Structure 1
Amino acid sequence: MTTTVLQNIRPWGAESVDLSIEDGLVTGLAPHRPGSAVPGGTEVLDGGGLLALPGLINSHAHVDKSWWGKPWVSYGGEATTQGRIAHERTERSALGIPSTDSTELVMKEFLRHGTTATRTHVDVDLGVGLDGIASVRAAAERLGGALEVEIVAFPQDGVMRRPGVLELLDRAAQEGATSIGGLDPAGIDRDPVAQLDGLVQIAVDRGVELDIHLHDGNDLGIFQIELLIERTVQAELQGRVNVSHGFALGDVQGARQEELVAALGEAGISWTSVAPPGRGRLPWASMREHGVRLGLGTDGIRDLWSPYGDGDMLRIALGFARVHGLRHDAELAAAVQLTTTDSAPFVHRDQHELAPGSRADVVLLEAENVQDALLRTPRRELVLAGGRVVVEGGELTL
């Protein structure tokens, strides 16, 4: 049994405590007493009175698509969903995408910024088959489990318009993907009923979850959300369906929006957002009231869709706070909670907290309080993943 005591840390900015860890799990917290003795054979780490957060959770990533670590790639192609798909399909082979090496580098950036678990969409199509999933798994293995990874098999090039993709998604589900994805059933496939029915059948047959990318806005997007709600309830998939992006929810207002949020809550459908400026505003307070679970993610990082991103989930939380005009302390703390405790279900954790029973994922920062940490996004001074030190002084120790 490996025993560690992380001394003198301030969970969520509270009073200093000593946190005990055994075999990768938090086993206890006690008030910090300077000079107090610890049992022989115990590893002692000095937290220096730093603010402590649970490990950050990235609920929506695309780690397989990055050119991180490669020479700079200039942005090209048309700035539409279809244009980005076409550009990526044309250029990805020349960049060696998917690549285990680049995927590993992205994952290391996640860890360096304190992210210890991620839910990542991985492209599955007629060109790459399931190779992207293999690359992601290989990269995660190189990190020895420091970053826990859940895979969503994602049909970035469409489903029904590409015969054979449904079969690939079914194979991915059989081979261990925890979720299968969908993409703009109307806007891309132009057959929302067929796409959703096909995906729901796989989810039912294989016991996996659904995660639907939905960029379509306004009435077209709302129509697809309503179809998804109906099918979720009919197939008894409550708690196993997520909408990614879902810009249409922010396009409607008033009673119609409130009714839709209530229906999402009743169907147990969750939501993930990357909080983009312009289209990232959500009725997040109403979603909390109706039990619509919300998670945040980085989306792609330096890929053929966008040159932006560095893997820092605190920056994503800060973007969410800005988009939604958050000012009060409780609101700012809630934005940080979206990237930590609130996102535990997105990576199938019953709990994710600085408390007994949780995986010992701990992030230490030099900050007065949680609000200060969010607004300044200081470097991560120490990161523990499963009780193992993986970052010191902002740099990886792996």
Structure 2
Amino acid sequence: MTSLLLADVRPWGGDPVDVAIVDGVIAEITPTGTQAAGSQAADQKVVDGRGLLALPGFVNAHAHVDKSWWGQPWVSYGGEPTTQGRIAHERAERDKYGIPSVAGATAVLREFLRHGTTATRTHVDVDLGVGLRGIANVREAAAELGDAVEVEIVAFPQDGVLRRPGVLELLDKAAAEGATSIGGLDPASIDRDPVGQLDALFEIAEGRGVGIDIHLHDRGDLGAFQYELIIERTRQAGLAGKVNVSHGFALGELAPARRTEMVYQLGAAGISWTTVAPVNSAPLPWREMRTAGVAIGLGTDGIRDLWSPYGDGDLLQVARGFARLHGLRTDEDLTYAVELATTYGAAFVHRENHGLTPGARADIVLLDAENAPDALVRAPRRELVIAGGQVVVHDGELQV
């Protein structure tokens, strides 16, 4: 049995408490200094939290950890600035930069840890060029870090599904070998056969008992049409709670009445949403989505990959971007943005309990901030990060 006492921390900015951790799980939370004398195990390690703000570990609900050039020499942006152009550029250039690789995935996961992310749902490219090698690399990278970052994998057809014969078979094999979801990509504009792509994906998902996570960049009516197809198939297949739309830019662009109807259909079907809150996108109807039960997850998307030179792995920065895009100002709303990046991210990595509560995996982040809104707007360094009961960041420095 391993035992750790995190003393004098302020969960969500509240009163100081001591957090007792046993075998990687939060066992007890008590007001600071009230733990009964002699109740500590003889070998219990004590970490002084110095009265810092404590938040649950961040959950990155949409990442691509398999294809970063983080830590390598600078890579200049190239290729055509369209979805198809980015796909073609990546396919032409990825081997030059060793993408995918264990080292690349490890570098990204280490940056996640540095910034307090202790769980992620990551898309990993599956295509005829790399096969399932990227998935194996990501799993090895997670293992090298002792699974400090718990990783769920979405087998992702970055180059399309139907237009590349053999990709469906790879997706099915990935699902059979443990991927928790399979992905899709712009069924209308990439495969030019939205019914065909979606029917094929839902057939695999039903047969293998996995989820579906579909990248949808298409705008306006074309995007909305595909939402309708996804809603219809989710209901027919009984996959409520197992289907997610990533990006989904069209939702915020619809006329108010149609948007409201769409949101409630999504909620009734049990479909969730992940966003990276890009600055040039239309705001999501997040209040309606919250009321309708459409879960929202935040993610970093790619981290310095062949799609974009941006990104540093800090999900708190993404939460701040979400807050700014949606005009959040009150303490309640700013705290909600932080909750999206932490507690509310639990469903995206299949955790029933993710928070500063007994029984949860001990994923705790300490920051020098007054409260959650203060942490959001300043995004200070992570002073201490505990992942699965192990100290992985101390005084802002990685320990793994």
The two structures have a TM-score, normalised by structure 2, of 0.98
Asked whether the 8 Å contact 1:54–1:352 carries over to 2, the reply is yes
Q: Deviations over 1:306-364 (max 9, x none)?
A: 00000000000000000001000000000000000001010010010100010000000
Asked whether the 8 Å contact 1:155–1:183 carries over to 2, the reply is yes
SS across alignment from 1:335: helix
CA distance in 1, matches of 2:347, 2:268: 17
AA aligned opposite 2:326: H
> What is the aligned partner in structure 2 of residue 314 from structure 1?
316
AA aligned opposite 1:166: L
Q: What's the offset of the Cα at 1:39? A: 3.9
CA distance in 1, matches of 2:363, 2:34: 24
AA aligned opposite 2:101: S
Q: How many residues align?
A: 398
Structure 1: stretches of 5+ with no match in the other structure: none
> What is the aligned partner in structure 2 of residue 228 from structure 1?
230
1:357 to 356, 359, 375: 359
Q: What's the offset of the Cα at 1:35? A: 9.8
Q: Deviations over 1:257-308 (max 9, x none)?
A: 0000000000000000000001151000100000000000000000000000
Q: What's the offset of the Cα at 1:4? A: 1.1
Give yes or no for the alignment of 1:283 onto 2:277: no
> What is the aligned partner in structure 2 of residue 29 from structure 1?
29
> What is the aligned partner in structure 2 of residue 11 from structure 1?
11
Asked whether the 8 Å contact 2:102–2:141 carries over to 1, the reply is yes
Asked whether the 8 Å contact 1:273–1:280 carries over to 2, the reply is no
CA distance in 2, matches of 1:261, 1:35: 47
1:99 to 92, 98, 101: 101
Q: What's the offset of the Cα at 1:40? A: 2.2
> What is the aligned partner in structure 2 of residue 163 from structure 1?
165
> What is the aligned partner in structure 2 of residue 248 from structure 1?
250
Q: What's the offset of the Cα at 1:120? A: 0.1
CA distance in 2, matches of 1:141, 1:243: 28
1:335 to 334, 337, 350: 337
SS across alignment from 1:92: helix
Q: How does 1:53-202 map to 2 (within 5 A)?
A: 53-202=55-204
Structure 2: stretches of 5+ with no match in the other structure: none
> What is the aligned partner in structure 2 of residue 366 from structure 1?
368
CA distance in 1, matches of 2:329, 2:45: 41
Q: Deviations over 1:351-380 (max 9, x none)?
A: 101000100000000001111000000000
Q: What's the offset of the Cα at 1:253? A: 2.7
CA distance in 2, matches of 1:397, 1:94: 31
Q: What's the offset of the Cα at 1:34? A: 8.0
Name the stretch that deviates more: 279-288 or 30-39: 30-39
CA distance in 1, matches of 2:83, 2:329: 33
Q: Deviations over 1:130-159 (max 9, x none)?
A: 010011011001001101000000000000
SS across alignment from 2:362: coil
Give yes or no for the alignment of 1:212 onto 2:214: yes
CA distance in 2, matches of 1:40, 1:130: 47
CA distance in 2, matches of 1:247, 1:301: 20
AA aligned opposite 1:248: A
